[in-house]
Amino acid sequence: MHNVVMKESDMPMAIEKAQVILPSEREVKVTRSFKAPKTLVYRAYTEPQLVRRWLLGPPGWSMPVCEMDVRVGGAYRWRWRSDTDAKEFGFFGTFREVVPASRLVHSEAYDPGTVGGGYPEQDAGEGAIVTVSFTEEAGYTTVTSLIDFGSKEARDAAVATGMTDGMEQSYQLLDELLKNTAA
């Protein structure tokens, strides 16, 4: 519990498992280190043909749409499709700051697609503001994503969606386990 929610001060230099903290009631901060130079990690975050190979969420989803015009004012659009029922949802927004290999700031609005859902108060505005920073030390690049959802309600709803995904993932694993046990 403690290392998930609040222990930020004594973080090790390389964070080998994703760390999620709630710095304020509107924000979520996700931190993770990668054994690669920051120029390369930045490419994996900004080149669509690389992004679509890892930004997939739970198993069973593919990313048929990944368009990114990475420059200030440029737009991006991400869309995922479920392998099982072909339902889709996505995110879209524009880049507000682009500092190669160092910092990205973009808006992030939810596109309910055929999945539905979303946060009513978000529809009026631009959704969340995401600040991604890349720092390199001793062969590791640490990526910090600070997601400001604009309100506590939007943040809690977004985390709850992640919760649903995680549960679905667990159910799928359970299904597989049961199948294997039966066989």
Binding site for other proteins (CB under 8 A): 1, 4-6, 17-20, 22, 25, 28, 30, 32, 34-36, 40-41, 43-44, 50, 53-59, 156, 159-160, 162-163, 165-167, 169
Q: Residue-wise over 110-119: b if at least 16 C-beta within 10 A, else e? A: bbebebeebb
- The alpha carbon of 27 is separated from its chain's Cα centroid by a whole number of angstroms, namely 13
Strand partners, 108: 128
Q: How far is the CB of 120 from other proteins (least distance, A)?
A: 16
Kindly tell me which of 114 and 170 has the beta carbon lying closer to other proteins: 170
State both tokens at 49.
């043909």
Kindly tell me which of 40 and 65 has the beta carbon lying closer to other proteins: 40
Q: How far is the CB of 163 from other proteins (least distance, A)?
A: 4
Kindly tell me which of 2 and 179 has the beta carbon lying closer to other proteins: 2
Q: How far is the CB of 114 from other proteins (least distance, A)?
A: 20
| 173: Cβ contacts below 8 Å, ≥ 6 apart | none
CA–CA gap between residue 15 and residue 12 (Å, rounded): 6
How crowded is the C-beta side of 52, counted as CA atoms within 13 Å?
A: 16
Q: How far is the CB of 160 from other proteins (least distance, A)?
A: 5
Residue pair 55/32 in contact (Cβ under 8 Å)? The answer is: no
Q: What φ, ψ does residue 110 adopt, rounded to 5°?
A: -85, 135
Kindly tell me which of 72 and 165 has the beta carbon lying closer to other proteins: 165
Kindly tell me which of 73 and 120 has the beta carbon lying closer to other proteins: 120
Q: How far is the CB of 65 from other proteins (least distance, A)?
A: 17
